[in-house]
């Protein structure tokens, strides 16, 4: 699958996804400190799912009604990097294409997927 990793995403998650042959475009590696709207635009133009820990993307999509090709919001501040990696890989492997055109939220205890 193809992803854009927002700057807020932990590096071990990016590395783990790449290790499993996913294509991950990292904002922190290519365009650090760009605006959230620009990050969303990159994801849309390249038809990639945006991975982020930044709740502002929910506002962009739902309140401002900006188009999205898919967003995964990771709300996992209390977990170790290993646990975050494990949950993210589980989500990608289990739900795959359902993440396209959806707003998904991962917490330690729950996964919610809402179609956009």
SS3 33: coil
- Cβ(3)–Cβ(25) below 8 Å: yes
CB atoms within 10 A of CB 115: 9
Measured CA to CA, the distance from residue 106 to residue 27 in angstroms comes to 20
What's the pLDDT score for residue 91?
94
Q: What are the structural domains of the chain?
A: 2-115 (3.40.50)
pLDDT digits (tens, 9 = 90+) for 53-104: 999 999 999 999 988 899 999 999 999 999 999 999 999 999 999 999 999 9
What's the pLDDT score for residue 67?
83
The phi and psi torsions of 21 (rounded to 5 degrees) equal 70, 20
CB atoms within 10 A of CB 63: 8
pLDDT digits (tens, 9 = 90+) for 10-50: 999 999 999 999 999 999 999 999 999 999 999 999 999 99
Measured CA to CA, the distance from residue 28 to residue 21 in angstroms comes to 20
């Amino acid at each position: 699958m193809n992803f854009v990793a927002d700057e807020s995403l932990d590096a071990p998650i990016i590395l783990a996804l790449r290790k499993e042959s996913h294509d991950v475009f990292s904002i922190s590696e290519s365009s650090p400190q760009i605006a959230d709207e620009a990050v969303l635009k990159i994801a849309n133009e390249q038809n990639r799912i945006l991975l982020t820990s930044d709740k502002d993307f929910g506002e962009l999509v739902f309140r401002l009604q900006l188009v999205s090709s898919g967003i995964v919001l990771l709300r996992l501040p209390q977990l170790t990097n290993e646990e975050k990696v494990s949950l993210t890989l589980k989500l990608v492997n289990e739900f795959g294409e359902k993440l396209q055109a959806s707003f998904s939220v991962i917490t330690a205890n729950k996964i919610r997927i809402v179609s956009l």
